Amino acid sequence: MFGARVARVVLNFALERPERGLPTIQRMFDADAVDFSQPVALFPLPTVSLLPHALQPLHVFEPRYRSMVVDALGASLTGDFDHAAPIAMATFAGEGWRDSYAGAPALRPVVCVGRIVQHQRLPDGRHDIMLHGVARAKIVAMHEADGSRPYRMADLQPLEPLDVNRPRMLRVRRAMHALLARPRLERVIAARHVLDWFARDDVPTHAAIEVAGYALVRNAEARYQLLAEPNAFRRAGIVRDAIVDLERLICMAERQRSADWPKGESWN
């Protein structure tokens, strides 16, 4: 009974989840657009919020991260983001961050480096930005906040070579397309949009896998494993497992119809 209840909750979330985050902006950046010889600003959140090739909208309201956005944009406040500095989306390690959030909570070692592709400064000083994920990277040295800079930065090392041709992964692509085309998954808006990406000849397989992971891998630990995995084939396996789990949850939810509930009981 409890498993079916969870299935209904997860199914509703998947069905209602908007497709934002799937790349639609024409101006994108490649991983080699990041200068890894320079420290990169860190924006930590409780769970993985960005993957390469995905887009993440962020509402920036804390004073220290407002400063981070202003510093990253520099002279790019007018909308030319080619020279804006990157921002790395980090993840807190464990639950201790809740007690030390205002300070410097421990971070997990792998981050996603992003570039700003949209920006709007609000009248009260807050910022709405859109980050485009460009590269996985590992923290190798921290630069803690100080009097002149209220946010943390880090020296980063890319997890994947930046100058190596990606494998075409044609068998993986066909398998993913067949999986996403199954009838039960047609009810999931995000899955339908991801299927469209796998059907496009101009989208490399490794990029389509990243988009699928961003949209469909919802378990927090699985999302971090996806971010921290440098091998594209193993990333495809993580995404495949998440899609299979989603299909299983939909199947469980379909079995729980109102006519089958015990009299006088419901999930509400």
Looking at the structure, tell me whether residues 69 and 145 fall in a common domain.
Answer: yes
Is position 47 within any domain? yes
Looking at the structure, tell me whether residues 42 and 144 fall in a common domain.
Answer: yes
266 or 123, which is more confident: 123
pLDDT band at 253 (very low <50, low <70, confident <90, very high): confident
- The last residue of one of the domains, among 117, 136, 158, is 158
Looking at the structure, tell me whether residues 232 and 147 fall in a common domain.
Answer: no
**How much is the mean pLDDT over the chain?**
84
Looking at the structure, tell me whether residues 144 and 39 fall in a common domain.
Answer: yes
- Quote the strand ranges of the chain, DSSP E: 40-45, 55-60, 87-91, 110-121, 127-143, 153-158
User: What residues make up the domain containing 15?
Assistant: 2-22+165-255
Mean of pLDDT values over 8-34: 47
Is position 260 within any domain? no
Looking at the structure, tell me whether residues 10 and 74 fall in a common domain.
Answer: no
Looking at the structure, tell me whether residues 173 and 81 fall in a common domain.
Answer: no
2-16 vs 189-199: helix axis angle to the nearest 10?
60
Is position 172 within any domain? yes
Which two three-digit tokens encode residue 205?
């397989």
Could you read off the pLDDT of 153-203 as tens digits, one per residue? 999 999 988 767 778 899 999 999 999 999 999 889 999 999 999 999 889
Looking at the structure, tell me whether residues 39 and 148 fall in a common domain.
Answer: yes
Could you read off the pLDDT of 235-247 as tens digits, one per residue? 999 999 999 999 9
What pLDDT, on the 0 to 100 scale, is given for residue 82? Answer: 86
Looking at the structure, tell me whether residues 154 and 41 fall in a common domain.
Answer: yes
Looking at the structure, tell me whether residues 60 and 85 fall in a common domain.
Answer: yes
- The last residue of one of the domains, among 108, 125, 158, is 158
pLDDT band at 42 (very low <50, low <70, confident <90, very high): very high
Lookup result for tokens 């997890």: 159
22 or 121, which is more confident: 121
* β-pair partners for 146: 149
pTM of the model: 0.82
Per cent of the chain over pLDDT 90 is 66
Looking at the structure, tell me whether residues 71 and 144 fall in a common domain.
Answer: yes
From residue 24, how far is each of 66, 68, 99, 248 by CA, in Å?
25, 25, 38, 30
What pLDDT, on the 0 to 100 scale, is given for residue 161? Answer: 82
Mean of pLDDT values over 216-231: 96
What pLDDT, on the 0 to 100 scale, is given for residue 165? Answer: 76
Count of CB atoms situated within 10 Å of the CB of 62: 14
Whether the pLDDT of residue 263 is over 70: the answer is no
CATH number for the domain that contains residue 125: 2.30.130.40
Mean of pLDDT values over 199-217: 93
What pLDDT, on the 0 to 100 scale, is given for residue 31? Answer: 63
Is position 179 within any domain? yes
- The last residue of one of the domains, among 128, 158, 188, is 158
Looking at the structure, tell me whether residues 146 and 75 fall in a common domain.
Answer: yes
Looking at the structure, tell me whether residues 90 and 110 fall in a common domain.
Answer: yes
Which two three-digit tokens encode residue 235?
């990333």
Is position 29 within any domain? no
- Count: domains in the chain: 2
Could you read off the pLDDT of 76-119 as tens digits, one per residue? 666 678 889 999 999 999 887 778 777 789 999 999 999 999 99
What pLDDT, on the 0 to 100 scale, is given for residue 262? Answer: 58
Is position 262 within any domain? no
What pLDDT, on the 0 to 100 scale, is given for residue 8? Answer: 31
pLDDT band at 58 (very low <50, low <70, confident <90, very high): very high
Is position 264 within any domain? no
Is position 78 within any domain? yes
pLDDT band at 254 (very low <50, low <70, confident <90, very high): confident
